[in-house]
Chains A and B, each alone.
Chain A
Amino acid sequence: GAGVSQSPSNKVTEKGKDVELRCDPISGHTALYWYRQSLGQGLEFLIYFQGNSAPDKSGLPSDRFSAERTGGSVSTLTIQRTQQEDSAVYLCASSRQVDDNEQFFGPGTRLTVL
């Protein structure tokens, strides 16, 4: 595809359930980033991948959040035992490499936890 894609576009879940969010980066981009955007807040960095490894997990809000990337391509962000405060738009971005910080963003997944 021409750009970063994310699925689902919207997800409504009940408190306590687990959710998986998917990101397909631009082909050939080695760096992949996850952000969270809450209403009225700036983009909050969560985690980034260089290839399949995640050198910096410092932004993950709690141990309920995890992410993986396989084959240097698709990434999934998993939130276990969701809480209402997890409700936000989760954005994924990719760049050619970590030192090339021209990041291209996907459309986001809007997560609503009831």
Chain B
Amino acid sequence: EDQVTQSPEALRLQEGESSSLNCSYTVSGLRGLFWYRQDPGKGPEFLFTLYSAGEEKEKERLKATLTKKESFLHITAPKPEDSATYLCAGWGGATNKLIFGTGTLLAVQP
């Protein structure tokens, strides 16, 4: 069964304290791995798409990487405004749909 699992469920960081969020996947025929950010009461906001193992993408303090089994979202020197839920989704599999993980709730304290 196609599945995406994110860890940790919640993460609390001090401002400036770098860390990584994990997304492990078992999606047959993976065509892409997506990262989204979701703020309370809002829809997910697209961050990155990774298409092949070894690929990396960066945006401000965020960097996403992909291997054949998992993806990491690295957050360097986070700020309070980075606080949000980060969602990972695999595209492909038997149904060619986005399969979402349950997200990591990140809180960055000043």
Contacts and interface: CB of A to CB of B under 8 A. Distances in A.
Interface stretch (A14-22, A36-44, A66-74): A36-44
A104 interface: yes
Contacts of B101: 42
A62 interface: no
Interface string A4-19: 1000000000000000
B95 A56 contact: yes
Contacts of B102: 40-42
**Most A C-beta atoms less than 10 A away, residue of B4, B31, B49, B100:** B100
Contacts of A25: none
The dominant DSSP class at the B interface is strand
Task: List 6 A-B pairs, minimum CB-CB distance, nearest first.
Answer: A105-B43, A43-B100, A42-B100, A42-B102, A101-B91, A105-B44
Nearest to A40: B102
B46 A103 contact: yes
Contacts of B43: 4, 91, 93, 105-108
A27 to B, nearest CB: 17
Interface of B: 4, 31-32, 34, 36, 41-46, 49, 87, 89, 91, 95-103
Contacts, number: 52
A93 B43 CA distance: 9
A108 B44 CA distance: 10
Contact of B103 (A42, A104, A106): A42
Question: Which range contains the number of A residues in contact with the other chain?
Answer: 20 to 34
Interface string A92-113: 0100000001111111100000
B21 to A, nearest CB: 15
A46 B46 CA distance: 19
Contact of B34 (A35, A40, A91, A101): A101
Interface string A40-60: 111111001000000010110
B80 to A, nearest CB: 22
A71 to B, nearest CB: 23
A82 to B, nearest CB: 22
